[in-house]
Amino acid sequence: MQTPLVFIEEDKCKVCYACVRVCPVKAVELRPSGDIPYIQPDKCIGCGSCIEVCHPQAISYYNSKPAVNELLKSEHKVVALVDPCISAEFDDITDYRKFVKMLLEMGFDYVQDGAFGVDLVAKEYNELISDFLGKYYILANCPPIVSLVEKYFPQLIDNLAPIVNPMIANAKVLRELYGSDIKVVFIGPCIGAKEEADRFDGVSKVDEVLTFAELREMFEQNGIKESNIEFSDFNDPRGYKGSLYPVSTGILQASGINQDLLTGTIVTVENKDQIMAAIKQFEQGIDYISKHFNMFYCEGCMMGPGMKPGGKKHNRQSSVTTYTTKRLKDFNMAKWNNNLKLYQHLDLKRGFIANDQRLADPSEEKIEEVLKIIEKNTSEENLGCKACGYESCRAFAIDVANGITRPDMCIMHSLKSKQDYIRSLKLTNEKLAKTQQALQNSEKRALAEKQLAQDALETTQTMLHKLPTAVVIVDENMKIIGSNESFVTILGEEAAEINEIIPGLLGADLKTLLPVQFYKLFAYVISSNDDVVGRDVHLNENLLNVTIFSIKKNKIVGAVIRDMHMPEVRKEEVINRVTEVIEQNLDLVQQIAFLLGEGAAKTEKMLNSIIESHKSKG
C-alpha cells in the first residue's frame, strides 16, 4: 500500500473528536496546531474503531478496488480467497453458490473457500496447546491484536503464537495448487488484513485484500445481481468446521481445543472494550491466570469493520451456524482428511517484529502542570469519567504533555470552561445592556440638547439678520463664515448680487470685499487676540464705527459695524459722545466747582439743558 491504511478526509470532518476518544492506542492525534485530527500511520493498529464511530464518514481506509480491477484485466490467473464470514455478510443472497458464481462473473478464475485454511491453522493450534511446555500464548489470528502487541506490548512478542493466520495458510495452499504465478485476492471483514498481507512474500503472498464492503461496491459497479446468476461452487479443497471462524470461539471448536471452564486451558477475549484490560492482565498475571488467550479485537470477525454496517451480532452468529450446519450435512470427511494430509507439509510457522510505538512518559512537573490545567489534584489523577477515551486523568495528562492531544478533550474541563465563559458572557451582556441603556439616555439628552441648540441657532440667526447693525464673522483665512443683511447692504450692490447666489456671503474672501486698512484690522485681531473697539473707518462715502473682537483664539473673529450716517445711529452716537464728554469733564468741573462754587452748578445745568434740547429735536 502506498497510502496510509486509515486516513481522515479533512473536508468531511465535523471536528466531533469521536475518533480521538475511541482509538484504543491514541493513534488519532489532536495537535495544538489545528482542529482536524490526524491518524499516525505508524501508531495505527488497523482496528477500524474510528471508522465505525465517524457518522460524517470522514474516515476512510485504503481502497483496493482499482488494484483488483487491474489484476482482473491482467493475463494472470486470479484467485478469490473468500473468508468464511460470507455467511454473516451476504444474508441477502439466498445461496452461497450464487455468491461464488457472482465472483466468477466479475472475472475471477477460481473461488476458494477460506475455511480450509482455518482448518489447517486450527490443527497447528491443537498441537501447540496440547504440547504445553509451561509457556502461555496469545493466538495470532487477528491482525489488529498482532499489531497491538508488536507496537504497544513488545515485551509480549514471545507470547504470540508463532502460527500464520488462515489468510496466509490459504495463500500457501493456493500457490501449491495453482502455481506461483497466480494472483491471490483475499476477501474478508478485516481492514487490518490489508497491512497483514504486505508482511508476507513468496508462496505466502496475498496480492490484494478486499473488504466485503468494497466487494459489494464492485458488484454494483459491474451490474452483477443474484437474480441473473446460476449456481456454482467453491473450488477444492473445502473447509470443515473452519466455517465457524467468524465467531470468536470458532477457531477453538475447529481445532478441538478444550474450552471447558474446569478442565480447559484457554479463554476467549473479544470486543474492543475488553481487549486492552485483558492483555494487561495477561502481562501482569499470566502465571496466576494460567490460560492461553484466544483474542479477537472485534466481537468475532463477523463484526469486523469491513462488513456491512449495522449488523447485529446474534443474527450474524445464527447465520454462521446455519450455514455451517447446512454445509456439513453431506460433508465428505474422507476427502477433507486427504486434503489435510496433502498439505500438512506446509510450513505454517511465523515470526513477529517489535515496532515499539510507546512514548516515554514526560516529567512529573509537566504531568502535574496539565493536571492543574484540567483542575485535577494528585488524589484525583487516577479517577475520571473516561469520556475522553483514557482510563484515567493521569493517562490523559501524559498524552497532553506529550503533545498528542489537548486539554479541551477533557469533557469536565471543557464544560467548566464553557460554563465560566457563559457566566463571563452573561456579566458582559449585563454590563453591555447597562451601557446600552446609558447610551440611549445619553443619546436622548444629546438629541434634546441638539434640538435646543438648533432652536437657539435659528433664533440667533433670525435676530442677527433683523439687527440694523452689520455683523460679520470670519476665520483665520479671512473667509466669511457668517454675516447678516446689514453687512451686505454696507458693502454695496456687488455684494448684494453675490448674496443672491450665496446667502450670507459664506466662503467669500474678506480681502476682496474691504479696503486694505479696514481688512488689516481683522488680521490684527486674528494674530494678536486684542479687540479693536469703536474704531471709525471710511468705506466709500460712508463713515463706519467698527468693533472687532476675538471669538476663538487665532481662529475666528467677529465684527459689529455701524453706519454713522444712519439717523438712529447718528442720534445714538451724538448722545453717547456728549455723555462721554460730560463724564470726561465731570472730574474737572467738580474741581472748578470747589473753587467757583455756584458757577459749577450753573454750568452743569446748562450742559444738561443742551442735551435735553437736542433729544427733543431729534
Are residues 347 and 168 in contact, defined by beta-carbon separation less than 8 angstroms?
no
Nearest to 80 by CA among 185, 237, 174: 185
Q: What is the pTM of this model?
A: 0.66
Residues 374, 380, 381, CA angle at the centre, nearest 5°? 70
Query: Given the C-alpha cell 442735551, which residue does it identify?
Result: 611
State percent of the chain over pLDDT 70: 81
Q: Is the pLDDT of residue 89 over 60?
A: yes
> According to the model, what pLDDT value does residue 572 have?
56
The arithmetic mean of pLDDT across residues 345-357, rounded, is 94
Helix (H) or strand (E) holding 275: helix 272-289
Among 168-172, 546-550, 578-582, the minimum mean pLDDT is found in: 578-582
The half-sphere exposure of 101 on its side-chain side, counting CA atoms within 13 A, is: 15
Q: Is the pLDDT of residue 317 over 50?
A: yes
Residue 615 is which amino acid? Answer: K
Query: Given the C-alpha cell 486694505, which residue does it identify?
Result: 516
Mean pLDDT of the chain: 84
> According to the model, what pLDDT value does residue 387 have?
63
Q: Mind listing the pLDDT tens digit for each residue in 6-59?
A: 999 989 998 888 888 888 998 998 876 678 889 999 999 999 999 999 999 999
> According to the model, what pLDDT value does residue 220 have?
93
Q: What is the dihedral of CA 192, 201, 120, 164, to 10 degrees?
A: -50
Q: How confident is the model at residue 599 (pLDDT cuts 50, 70, 90)?
A: very low
Q: Is the pLDDT of residue 534 over 90?
A: no
Q: What is the dihedral of CA 299, 302, 306, 307, to 10 degrees?
A: -120
State percent of the chain over pLDDT 90: 46
Buried b (16+ CB within 10 A) or exposed e, 406-434: bbbbbeebbeeeeeeeeeeeeeeeeeeee
Question: At 227, is the secondary structure helix, strand, or coil?
Answer: helix
Q: How confident is the model at residue 358 (pLDDT cuts 50, 70, 90)?
A: confident
Q: Mind listing the pLDDT tens digit for each residue in 193-216?
A: 999 999 999 999 999 999 999 999
Q: Mind listing the pLDDT tens digit for each residue in 162-188?
A: 999 999 999 999 999 999 999 999 999
Query: Given the C-alpha cell 437474480, which residue does it identify?
Result: 227
Buried b (16+ CB within 10 A) or exposed e, 553-576: eeeebbbbbbbeeeeebeeebeee
Helix (H) or strand (E) holding 546: strand 542-552
Are residues 144 and 193 in contact, defined by beta-carbon separation less than 8 angstroms?
no
How far apart CA 244 and CA 248 sit, in angstroms, is: 9
Residues 367, 373, 376, CA angle at the centre, nearest 5°? 75
Higher per-residue confidence, 151 vs 613: 151
